[in-house]
Amino acid sequence: MLPEKIRRIDENRLEIPLDYKEGMRVKGIIYVDKILEQELEIESIEQVANVATLPGIVNASLAMPDIHTGYGFSIGGVAAFDLKEGIVSPGGVGYDINCGVRLLRSNLKKHDIAEKIKDLVSILYNEIPSGVGSKGKVRLGPEDEKKILTKGAKWAVEQGFGDPDDLERIESGGCIEGADPSIISNKAYERGRAQQGTLGSGNHFLEVQYVEEIYDEKAANIIGLYKDQVTVMIHTGSRGFGHQVCTDFLEVMEKASKKYNIFLPDKELACAPFNSSEARDYLSAMKAAANYAWANRQCIMHWTREAFMKLFNMTPRELGMSLIYDVAHNIAKIEEHEVEGKKIKLIVHRKGATRAFPPGHPELPDIYKNIGQPVLIPGDMGRASYVLLGTEKAMKNTFGSTCHGAGRLLSRHQAIKKARGRKIWREMEEQGIIVRSAGRETLAEEMSEAYKDISSVVEVVHHAGISTKVAKLKPLGVIKG
């Protein structure tokens, strides 16, 4: 049962009114239909309301249909703050800074890899380090590490991991200006030194997929997708480096909240005014972690291409494995949005939410200018993932944002308990999906029942008009950390 004051605006949205909680400056809006409403956690609703109390928040505290309880902000949370009165909060970005997704297309079709999928998954598993504490093949000296933090994916391309053309199809060109390596702690450097080019653990993955369904033929043609085509999706972030940056600055922000007399309904919302030195330092460190993550996904993509070429004995041209797009879904960015008829700059926090910019937006690559930004939404390892497009309605209603995945339904502990006595890898294989993982518990934690139905989540954002469906991708082989 929903709390009494919450009302349904339409079939895709709930509203948390201003009088729901003392101190709310704006309303809360949660994008869920009546089916997903039944899976809403009361704690995540409270978190949306808590964010609405923060200084300088604009329009509404938002949450996407993959909403679930997080640290401070709910996962699936979106909030924008003005640059005069507003704040910056690490809880609005999360521990895994610039966790994100990239999607590769290929010239292969499903039947081309059917007999080799087990070999392919084994090669990819061996070539791409994954799991807790995994160490990458990239050996970094102190100067290299600093260059990664300022150059991002550009550094990886300069080292021969991919092509300059790749950078055009990465959000922000794979690098945000303004990262400052000098404010990064020694512990963050230590944690990041051996983890460049690694998948990590938990919900991170590399997935070999095929295009099961096309919903928008025109957009699919421009993007380069067609039925039964083999694609690869990579989902990972800034690893231990970004986690440590967040940990370091939560302590700084707790002190800053007291220093600037900011009332917090939850200490996990620790923050500092946008114009403060604490906020500037956090954003510089966050940008460094974001750049680390883009370099990470770039390296993994390069080794993925090499693995395919090796197994199928194909040249790069024959394979045609190129980047469709790369999106971040744990990040804070300064963007221009229209508020009360005026275009103003805001600091937009997206935590478990994806940019969904419309056709014509200046940040889009030329190839996507007429259709809008590709939106990549991964599902759980047993169901499906989706490609959508950003829309004008998203710019108007959600600061150009949409969902980022299926969203957890069970905690990791609950999932492990439910999987006891089962062989998840065997269940997956019976569905025609080959899975390799660094540990048994990971497969239990990440089984399909642990997540909301991705199709239900995507239907909400599609019908709400904040991103529109282009294609559905089904898994064939999965590597989990």
pLDDT in tens, 270-305: 999 999 999 999 999 999 999 999 999 999 999 999
Confidence of residue 415 (pLDDT cuts 50, 70, 90): confident
pLDDT in tens, 372-397: 999 999 998 889 999 999 999 999 99
pLDDT in tens, 182-209: 999 999 999 998 899 988 777 899 999 9
State the catalytic residues.
Answer: 404
Provide, rounded to the nearest whole percent, the portion of the chain with pLDDT above 90. 83
pLDDT in tens, 27-76: 999 999 999 999 999 999 999 999 999 999 999 999 999 999 999 999 99
Confidence of residue 450 (pLDDT cuts 50, 70, 90): confident
Supply 420's token pair: 């006891």
Q: What is the pLDDT, as a whole number, of residue 200?
A: 79
Domains of the chain with CATH codes:
7-480 (3.90.1860.10)
Tell me the average pLDDT across 463-475. 98
Tell me the average pLDDT across 224-244. 97
Q: What is the pLDDT, as a whole number, of residue 47?
A: 98
Closest by alpha carbon to 85, among 17, 25, 22? 25
Q: Look at phi and psi of residue 303 and say left if phi exceeds 0, alpha if psi is from -120 to 50, else beta.
A: alpha
CA 245 to chain centre: 18
Pairing of strands 7-10, 13-16: antiparallel
Tell me the average pLDDT across 335-354. 97
Confidence of residue 462 (pLDDT cuts 50, 70, 90): very high
Cβ neighbours for 128, distance < 8 A, ≥ 6 positions apart? 197, 198, 199, 206, 300, 303, 304, 307, 479
Confidence of residue 132 (pLDDT cuts 50, 70, 90): low
Closest by alpha carbon to 156, among 353, 294, 314, 15? 294
Q: What is the pLDDT, as a whole number, of residue 131?
A: 57
Work out the angle at residue 400's Cα, subtended by the Cα atoms of residues 394 and 402, and round it to the nearest 5 degrees: 75
Tell me the average pLDDT across 79-93. 98
Provide, rounded to the nearest whole percent, the portion of the chain with pLDDT above 70. 99
pTM of the full structure: 0.96
Cβ neighbours for 314, distance < 8 A, ≥ 6 positions apart? 308
Confidence of residue 230 (pLDDT cuts 50, 70, 90): very high
Supply 279's token pair: 């906020």
Among 116-120, 281-285, 332-336, 426-430, the minimum mean pLDDT is found in 426-430
Q: What is the pLDDT, as a whole number, of residue 138?
A: 77
